[in-house]
Every structure is written in structure tokens, then in C-alpha cells.
Structure 1
Amino acid sequence: MIRFFSRLPTLFGIACLWLLHFLPLPVLARLGKAIGLLAFYTKMSRTTRINIHACFPQLSTEEQQQLVKKQLGALCTSLLELGVIWWSPKSRIEQLVTFKNLHFTENHTRPIIFLTPHFVGLEMQGARMGMAFRGVSMFSAHKNPDIDRLIREARDRLGDIIMVERKQGLRALIRGLKDGRRLYILPDMDFGENNDSIFVPFFNIPAATVTTLPRLAKLTNALVIPSICYELPGHTGYQVEFFEPWQNYPTDSLEADVARMNQFIEEQIRRFPEQYFWGHKRFRTRPHANEPYFYRWPQPLD
């Protein structure tokens, strides 16, 4: 009984998402923008503020704050849209999420790895691409078992994607590639210095970056096809954009390969800065032990 009552907040939130999934995306966007504005005035915005302050020093304080507000609105909107992914029919998701440059993914004899950064439309992208390609991807189980179950059920319902937990290692990913599946790699998070990471620039800041993409591409002779997912004007849907497969990748320089990856991600962020997931502590791990903690924010929240 105690366990049931402890689940009530989660179950209430899930019920709200179920009701919201019947609404059009523009309505969800207006709700998300309002919630994001409230979040701006809380400590929830702290990491986003610090990241944007560090990565866009050329912006004025007011411009940085406006970008933070837009990003929080986009993030909250994507959270409200989870119900659309979990319960909407495939036909609706096919209508809401379209492909651009799909031809870059076709007629290849080599295995394919999709480079997929963390934009707020990532869950929409995963749902739509899972319907189009047999895939395999690495993930971390959600701490909340009720939410984790919904995520897994939605992925199973919408497509054929094998989800590999991080503790299983890379062998399961390699097996998926050899089986003809497309591998999704999301390499733009800080997993610590001891997790096969090296420091390369990201917005001119040394960032601990995983080397999984070039190492797997070299090991399996796979093509790397970058992709991003961004919101369409008026929030009528999302578009997944594919880019031309990288030629001569990887090279003999692991550092150059990882730097190229970060450079691509940075270029796409500059196109849609408000749609990137700035809430992650991307610069938590520092190259020198004596450096101060990056996410110490000395200024009060405005």
C-alpha cells in the first residue's frame, strides 16, 4: 500500500500526459512555453543558464536570458509531447515527423551508424526512425520503473529497435550492425574521463567526449550518417534531416575524428540553439583536477 501511494505522483503525471496526447502540437507548444517561462525563475534553469552563458559569450545578458527562456519552453514542450509518442497511432507520428534527404540513407552495402545529437525532438526522431529502419541503440534505463516501462513499450510498438543497456557494452551494438541494423549513437554527453573519453573543443571549451563513434566505425567499416531533428515553424511537427555520409572517416587520428563530430554538432546547434538540450552538464569533467567546478554559479538567478 505504501508503495502504491509513493507511485501516485508519477501515475498522476502519466494520466495528464495521456489526456494531453489528444491535443494538437501547437496547443502543446503554448502550454510548454508557459511552463518553461515558470521554470526560468527556478533553480531548474541553472545548468541551462551556465551552458548558454559559456557557449554564447558574444550575446548580451538579455539575449542569453531570452535564449534560455526559449530553450526551456522547447524542452517543456517536448516533455508534454511524450504522450503523443507513447499512445498515438503510427499514422499520426508519420504525419507529424517527416524526413529530409532520406536518399542519403539508401543503397549502401556497408553498415550504417547514425550520429544523433541531443536536440529536444530526439524522442520524436527515435519514434519515427524506428518505424523506418531496423535499429539498435544504447540507453540508460529510467530510474522510475513506470516511466521506463512506457518508454520500452512505445519503442516496441512503433518499430524494431533493440535497446542495449550500457552495462552490456559494445558487443551487443556490433552484433546489431552485423545483423543489418542501423546503429544510433548519441555522443554529446559527458560520461566522465574514465569512459573512453578524450578532451576536444566544444564551443571552444575543452569537453570530455566519448570516442565510441570513430572506434565503432573503424571496427565495423560502417558509414557515418549525421542526422538531427528540429521543430518546424509554428510547431506543426518535426523534421529529421539526414546529411551526406562522411567520407574518409574515421582517419588515423582519433582526436581529429572526435573533433569533427563535435564540430558538426556545434554547427547544427548554431542553426537551432533553442532546440538543443542545454540542461546536461556537458562540461562537468575538466581536463585539470585543480580547475574549479564548472557549474558553480556565483550570480543570483534574475
Structure 2
Amino acid sequence: MDKPRFNAAMLHPRFWPTWLGIGCWWLISQLPYRWQMGLGRLFGWLSFYFARRRYAIADRNLALCFPELDAAARRQLLRENFYSTGMALFESGIAWFWPQWRLRRLFTIEGLEHLQRAKEAGEGVVLLAMHFTTLDIGAAFMNMSHSIDGMYRPHNNPVYDLVQYRGRARHSTDTAVIPRGDLRAMIRALRDGRAAWYAPDQDYGRRFSIFVPFFGIPAATVSATAKFARLGDARVIPFTQTRLPRGRGYKVTVHAPLENFPSGDDSLDATAINAFIEARIREQPEQYLWVHRRFKTRPPGAPDLYDDAGKKRKKRRPAAERA
């Protein structure tokens, strides 16, 4: 797939609201960091009370994954999670629009030697990421520290897609952004000795998944991590990022490569990935993206874990129209 490029069609009036929104986003992103985090907490507070569908999804996920918490503790964790999700919106603007000299003041990184050793050995790296709310800004920090490629989902709006692509690829001159689903491009990058960002911790449906435990619940889990490592002859090296308290920025950690991975058994490998991700989530549960229905796809015959939580309600037609 070709890189998104600007063309005259993007100036059509139907895209003006998108351009206006991005312009406002850029202006807000120029505010001081602490101001933006304060606005993010405010946005999260409003969402906590008014985004009822997302509230229901996140609350159900926390009840499933942390049954040991009482109602008060779970509600407090949920509130902190909404604050974190609100701040993520502003962090994406910071990641996409701030100059590098300004971004470098925000983070420290440890464990880069794991990536450097792989590069010196000419080995590709599946850079295992996780859907924390700090995902966008964490990827920017990583790309500033070690050139990486990354998978992304192209957006239906070409203007937003262009801005998204440039925002994520601008931190390194040789970065390639790989559309999600282009497995050949991913494997080529790994065989060429590249580090390729990949986050396998969402529910991508039954077709590409197997069911293995995640927080003790059978979860549809993609087995692609092991396949990428095997076909790309690559190491799997996880990394995480943590938003520090009181506006002190972020800590990025590159973890040691997973040992004995892949094993050749897709179920064992997917279980190992889920166990690692679960352990990292437990270290900072308030910063994980709980508004995703992680357990949406169920094993055959298993009951729906969400019931009506998070499901869009269909508008009921007036009685006269139904007659």
C-alpha cells in the first residue's frame, strides 16, 4: 500500500470540518504540558459521568478482571481510568505535533540495549506493545530512541489518515507504517532486521484467534505474534510506557526478549503473551484501555459476558411506522 499523500481532493468542502478539527487540535497541543493533562482529566471526568456506553464496558471489564475489588475500589479505579483515557487524547496531539526537542524533555528510557543487541546481530524484532492509554505517545518516544516500523489501521477519512500517518512516521526518517493486515510487509520488515511495533492484546474476532486465558477468562487471542517471530526469524521484545504522577512525564521500559519463544505450540505461545501482558497491566491498571470489549468473542456455547453493557441500542421506530 502506498503512503498517504496530500492531493487536491482533500480540499473539498466535505473535508473542511476535519481540517478545522485538526487545526484546533494542533493549537491546543501547543499549550503547556501540565495544562493539557489538566484538560485531559476534565475531559475524562465528563466522560465518566456522560459516556454511559464506554462506562458500562470499562466497568464490566474491571469486574471480570479484578473480582477481588469491592464496589468502591472498582469505582475509584474506573474513575482514574477515565482520567487516563481523557489525557490520552491530548497525548496523541503532543506525539503528533510537538517538535522532538520538546518531546525529549518528557521521558526517560531504559533497556535500549536489548534492541541494540538485536540490531548488531542483524535480527528483526517484534516490538510487543500493549493498548495502554499512553500508546501513541509511547510509540513516539520509542521511535525517537530506536527507529521502528509500526502497524496501523488506515482511516476511512483520507485527511485524518494523512495526518495520522505523518504524525506517527515523522520521528525517524526511515520509519515505515504498515497497514494492519499486510502480513507480507510485516515479515519483510522483520527479515530486513527492522523492529516492528505490534500490539496483539485486543479482540480481533474468531477468524484469526484461539482461546487462551487472560485474567483467568478464555479470551480470543491472535496467534500472529509467534508466527511473525517464526517467519521473520525475529526476537520478541516487549516495551511499556508509564505516565508518571504530578506531571513528571513518562518512563519507557524495553524489556528483555521473551525466552523460548516461539515454542512451536500456538496455544502455549498465546498463553505466554497474555500472561506477560496481564502482569504489566496489573502494575498500572488505571492506564490500560478498558473501554475495549476484550471478551466480546466467546468460545462456542459460552454466554455473552457483557449482556447489554456497551451495546448500541437500536432506535425504536414509532408505532405508526411499525404498523
The alignment's TM-score, normalised by the length of structure 1, stands at: 0.90
1:115-142 CA distance string (max 9 Å, x none): 1111111111211222233322222112
Deviation at 1:12, TM superposition (A): 4.0
Matches within 5 A, 1:16-27: 16-27=24-35
CA contact (8 A) 1:29 1:74 kept: no
Opposite residue 21 of structure 2, the aligned amino acid is G
CA contact (8 A) 1:50 1:295 kept: no
Matches within 5 A, 1:9-88: 9-42=17-50, 43=52, 44-88=54-98
Opposite residue 53 of structure 1, the aligned amino acid is A
Q: Given the alignment, which residue of 83, 101, 112 partners 1:102?
A: 112
CA contact (8 A) 1:214 1:257 kept: yes
- Counterparts of 1:102 and 1:293 in 2: how far apart (Å)? 40
- Structure 1 window deviating more from structure 2 (89-98 vs 129-138): it is 129-138
Task: Identify the residue that residue 175 of structure 2 maps to in structure 1.
Answer: 161
Q: Given the alignment, which residue of 309, 315, 321 partners 1:297?
A: 309
**Which runs of no fewer than 5 residues in structure 1 stay unpaired?**
none
- Structure 1 window deviating more from structure 2 (12-21 vs 268-277): it is 12-21
- Counterparts of 2:135 and 2:302 in 1: how far apart (Å)? 35
- Residue 139 (structure 2) pairs with residue 129 (structure 1): no
In structure 2, relative to structure 1, the CA distance for the partners of 1:211 and 1:40 (3 Å cut) is same
Deviation at 1:185, TM superposition (A): 1.3
1:167-206 CA distance string (max 9 Å, x none): 43x11111111222101110001111112x1001111111
Q: Given the alignment, which residue of 252, 269, 275 partners 1:263?
A: 275
Task: Identify the residue that residue 249 of structure 2 maps to in structure 1.
Answer: 237
- Counterparts of 1:294 and 1:246 in 2: how far apart (Å)? 33
1:213-267 CA distance string (max 9 Å, x none): 1111122221111111110121221221111111211113221111111011111
CA contact (8 A) 1:124 1:238 kept: no
Opposite residue 141 of structure 2, the aligned amino acid is R
1:153-176 CA distance string (max 9 Å, x none): 1223222321122343x1111111
In structure 2, relative to structure 1, the CA distance for the partners of 1:105 and 1:255 (3 Å cut) is same
- Structure 1 window deviating more from structure 2 (265-274 vs 241-250): it is 241-250
- Counterparts of 1:11 and 1:219 in 2: how far apart (Å)? 41
- Counterparts of 1:176 and 1:190 in 2: how far apart (Å)? 25
Opposite residue 176 of structure 1, the aligned amino acid is A
Q: Given the alignment, which residue of 154, 157, 165 partners 1:152?
A: 165
Task: Identify the residue that residue 185 of structure 2 maps to in structure 1.
Answer: 172
In structure 2, relative to structure 1, the CA distance for the partners of 1:17 and 1:205 (3 Å cut) is same
- Residue 212 (structure 2) pairs with residue 200 (structure 1): yes
In structure 2, relative to structure 1, the CA distance for the partners of 1:295 and 1:276 (3 Å cut) is farther
Provide the secondary structure at the position in 2 that maps to 1:227: strand
Percent of aligned pairs sharing the same letter: 36
Task: Identify the residue that residue 313 of structure 2 maps to in structure 1.
Answer: none
Q: Given the alignment, which residue of 116, 120, 123 partners 2:133?
A: 120
CA contact (8 A) 1:136 1:164 kept: yes
Provide the secondary structure at the position in 2 that maps to 1:106: helix
In structure 2, relative to structure 1, the CA distance for the partners of 1:89 and 1:243 (3 Å cut) is same
Provide the secondary structure at the position in 2 that maps to 1:183: strand
CA contact (8 A) 1:97 1:124 kept: no
Q: Given the alignment, which residue of 239, 244, 247 partners 1:227?
A: 239
**Which runs of no fewer than 5 residues in structure 2 stay unpaired?**
1-10, 311-323
- Structure 1 window deviating more from structure 2 (33-42 vs 19-28): it is 19-28
Deviation at 1:92, TM superposition (A): 1.3
- Counterparts of 1:278 and 1:221 in 2: how far apart (Å)? 33
1:61-117 CA distance string (max 9 Å, x none): 111111111111111111022221222111112221321222222223122111111
Task: Identify the residue that residue 252 of structure 1 maps to in structure 2.
Answer: 264
- Counterparts of 1:65 and 1:255 in 2: how far apart (Å)? 34
- Counterparts of 1:146 and 1:236 in 2: how far apart (Å)? 33
RMSD: 2.0
Provide the secondary structure at the position in 1 that maps to 2:201: coil
Larger Rg: 2
- Residue 288 (structure 2) pairs with residue 280 (structure 1): no
Task: Identify the residue that residue 214 of structure 1 maps to in structure 2.
Answer: 226
